[in-house]
Amino acid sequence: MASQNFVDYVKVCCRSGKGGQGSTHMHRDKTTAKGGPDGGDGGRGGHVIIRGNDQLWTLLHLKYQRHIIAEHGEAGSGNRKHGADGKDAVIEVPLGTLIKDAETGEVQAEITAHGQQLIATPGGRGGLGNDHFKSSTNQAPRYAQPGEDGLEEWKILELKLLADVGLVGFPNAGKSTLLSVVSAAKPEIADYPFTTLRPNLGMVSYRDEKSFVMADIPGIIEGAAEGKGLGLRFLRHIERNPVLLFLVPADADDIPAEYRTLRNELEKYNPELMDKQHILAVSKSDLLDAELEAELRAELDAELDTPPLFFSSVAQQGLQPLKDAVWRAILRANPLLGA
């Protein structure tokens, strides 16, 4: 997916339809000159409905469609005929989309299954026809209810990526390069911070025709949990990844310190992220000779509770052991996959 086509945040105006007017019709036919009330009810206004679609990966289709408008209900008519309901307006969204109230920021729902739908903005109720208002003391009411007005509400749609593994690291840690090597994804790669401004997804082929989805997400910086850098726009995607692959480059000044900083930012944002499967990998290991790598590995084993993996995307070294470790972590996170 081209990064410029990935949209994970939109604000849309949802306008539901007005309910139809109830009818004030009096029954008339060739044998009845002055019959009683037989006015039908008005149809309800159309809802604005949000529905999950597993064929969508982005909110791009809503970027330039900011007003979603449902149709009005039709008026009732004689012989107790109900007016037609207004046509619903359906917004299809990728799985993992949050629906928020734009004014309060309250999360109203999350779409996680194909075909799952909810009424984001309900249509107005149709008015009752005069048939409902007849009584022994008022046998010919000549009034009916008007239809209820529709609603106009602004909604925020935010997409959290659904991927098996998310890449976590500082800018220039080698996340995009890894994704480009192990999948067909073509993220932008350059030697400057924040090259990746939007998430990228790649399908990684594994043994025995298995595969998993890897997400390259914009680099984190210290203070991201308080909104620094790309801040919360980055961190919300991490919540949907059952496995987190932490990348620290071999030329980092202090690999354990960088790893702890990354974990600390995630924990400050959402402590539940610490319950996910974690893997630490040292990228750009082609910068190390065998002696230096062995020395560094021993130091990290002694200092960290997570044994690191060493790999190089450019030199294509250590990629299969890395994929093996990721697959084992995916199975631990979801044992049913191995059944």
* Closest to 186 in 3D by CA, of 167, 200, 165, 197: 200
Rounded-to-integer distance, Cα 291 and Cα 296, Å: 9
Q: Please state the pTM of the whole predicted model.
A: 0.67
For residue 216, give Cα distances in angstroms to 94, 195, 307.
Answer: 18, 11, 22
Is the Cβ–Cβ distance between 217 and 161 less than 8 Å?
Answer: yes
Residue 131: its pLDDT value, please?
Answer: 92
Q: How far apart are CA 30 and CA 77, in angstroms?
A: 18
> Which range has the worst mean pLDDT, 28-37, 41-50, 72-81, 113-122?
28-37
At residue 277, φ and ψ (nearest 5 deg) are -70, 130
pLDDT band (50, 70, 90) for residue 188: very low
Cα-only R_g, the chain = 29
The CA distance from 111 to 108, in Å, is: 10
Domains, the chain, ordered by start? 1-159 (2.70.210.12), 165-338 (3.40.50.300)
> In this model, does residue 68 exceed pLDDT 90?
yes
Contact between 273 and 238 (Cβ < 8 Å)? yes
Q: Give, as one character, the DSSP assignment of residue 114.
A: T
Q: What is the pLDDT of residues 133-158, one digit of tens each?
A: 999 889 889 999 999 999 999 999 98
Q: Is the pLDDT of residue 200 over 70?
A: yes
pLDDT classification of 193: cutoffs 50, 70, 90: very low
Residue 61: how many CB atoms within 10 A of its CB?
13
Distance from C-alpha of 238 to C-alpha of 46, rounded to nearest angstrom: 36
- Residue whose token pair is 């005929």: 81
Model confidence over 97-121: pLDDT tens digits?
Answer: 999 999 998 999 999 899 999 999 9
∠ at Cα 296 (292, 297), nearest 5°?
Answer: 115
The total of other beta-carbon atoms located within 10 Å of residue 190's CB is 10
Strand, coil or helix: 76: coil
